[in-house]
């Protein structure tokens, strides 16, 4: 009787192993690279926001004790997507390709002209929202439909031509 149970258990285990070996799993794209789909990119951006939310603004800052707008962009792309972007808003505005407002995707950069000597940059998330560093509230999410940002909106750029294809 005991032998019968052992044989049954061995047969059941063999069937389970055989079925597991026959199943296939599609390869997962990592959210840690820009090679993921837009959902994975968006997830990585919100994850970054969760870690940096409320970190105060500090000109030239690159740490959780203070970060500026281009520093947040630089750190986000470096840490979440292993992509090196320029450190200054001016250089970020010159790179990549321009994107029409209706064609924005998660990870695109939204740029603003605050005044003739000062520009601002944020990372587009979805549904007209972007992550950036505010001089008053630190790292936060704002809406492009806010009159303040609408008035100062300059352009949207996709960091690299290849990023769209890699998503």
Q: Where are the beta strands (DSSP E) in the chain?
A: 62-63, 66-67, 97-99, 109-115, 118-126, 129-134, 138-143, 153-158
Q: Which residue has the tokens 């026959």?
A: 22
Q: At what angle do helices 38-52 and 69-81 cross, to 10 degrees?
A: 130
- Cite the active site residues: 69, 120, 132
Residues 6 or more apart in contact with residue 86 via CB below 8 angstroms:
70, 74, 92, 95
What b/e sequence results for 90-109 when a residue is b if at least 16 CB atoms lie within 10 Å of its CB, and e otherwise?
A: eebbeebeebeeeebbbbbb
Q: Which H or E element spans position 40?
A: helix 38-52
Radius of gyration of the chain (CA): 23
């Amino acid at each position: 009787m005991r032998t019968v149970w052992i044989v049954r258990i061995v047969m059941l285990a063999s069937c389970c192993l055989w079925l597991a070996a026959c199943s296939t799993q599609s390869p997962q794209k990592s959210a840690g690279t820009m090679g993921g789909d837009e959902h994975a990119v968006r997830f990585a951006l919100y994850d970054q926001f969760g870690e940096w939310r409320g970190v105060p603004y500090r000109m030239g800052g690159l740490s959780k004790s203070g970060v500026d707008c281009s520093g947040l962009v630089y750190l986000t792309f470096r840490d979440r997507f292993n992509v090196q972007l320029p450190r200054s808003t001016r250089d970020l505005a010159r790179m990549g390709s321009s994107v029409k407002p209706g064609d924005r995707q998660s990870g695109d950069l939204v740029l603003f002209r605050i005044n003739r000597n000062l520009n601002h940059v944020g990372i587009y998330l979805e549904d007209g929202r972007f992550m950036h560093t505010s001089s008053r509230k630190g790292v936060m999410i704002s809406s492009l439909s806010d009159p303040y940002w609408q008035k100062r909106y300059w352009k949207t750029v996709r960091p690299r031509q290849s990023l769209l294809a890699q998503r």
